[in-house]
């Protein structure tokens, strides 16, 4: 009975990984469609809202990195201004990346809707094939980013 419960636990891990890689693949697919829409001049979000989104992401990621720096500060002593500077740079970089991904994802969704659905942008076969490729790529990224245990 205990072995059956352990089996359920491992299936849960497989399902979580499958769900995460499929969600990332969907995001990648919509970002790709968003990049396809940029040459056509599709404006998804007005620029002031993009700047506001960038500011919100900047604050979120900077606070995240500052909290990580405070945790490390207990272990190692480092200059406080260096940690703040690094937190600001890391927060800015991630904020720009997240804003770009969010805006291009919305542009991709708008691109598909304006074209009349999935059939108008290549058909269901092309959509499923590209989704499958994106799932493989996202699973590869997830496995590469997974922390390794050191012995």
Per-residue pLDDT of the chain (151 residues; tens, 9 = 90+): 555 555 566 677 788 888 888 898 989 988 888 888 888 776 778 889 999 999 999 999 888 888 877 766 665 655 666 777 888 888 899 999 999 999 999 988 888 888 787 777 678 888 888 888 888 988 888 888 777 665 5
Q: For the chain, which residues make up each domain, given as ranges?
A: 28-145
Question: Which pLDDT does position 57 carry in this prediction?
Answer: 93
Question: Helix 2-37 and helix 123-145: axis angle, to 10°?
Answer: 120
The predicted model scores a pTM of: 0.72
The rounded Cα 97 to chain-centroid distance in angstroms is 9
Largest CA distance in the chain: 60
Contacts of 28 (CB under 8 A, 6+ apart): 134, 137, 138
Please check whether residue 139 is in contact with residue 17, taking contact to mean a CB–CB distance below 8 angstroms: yes
Task: Match 């497989």 to its residue by tokens.
Answer: 14
Please check whether residue 105 is in contact with residue 25, taking contact to mean a CB–CB distance below 8 angstroms: no
């Amino acid at each position: 009975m205990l072995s059956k419960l352990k089996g359920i636990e491992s299936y849960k891990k497989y399902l979580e990984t499958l769900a995460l890689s499929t969600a990332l693949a969907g995001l990648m697919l919509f970002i790709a469609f968003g990049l396809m829409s940029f040459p056509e001049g599709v404006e998804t979000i007005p620029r002031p809202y993009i700047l506001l989104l960038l500011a919100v992401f900047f604050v979120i990621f900077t606070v995240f990195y500052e909290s990580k720096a405070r945790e490390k500060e207990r272990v190692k002593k480092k200059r406080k201004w260096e940690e703040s500077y690094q937190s600001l740079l890391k927060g800015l970089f991630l904020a720009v990346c997240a804003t770009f991904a969010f805006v291009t994802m919305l542009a991709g969704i708008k691109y598909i809707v304006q074209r009349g659905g999935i059939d108008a942008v290549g058909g269901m076969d092309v959509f499923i094939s590209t989704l499958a490729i994106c799932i493989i790529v996202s699973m590869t990224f997830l496995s590469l980013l997974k922390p390794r245990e050191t012995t």
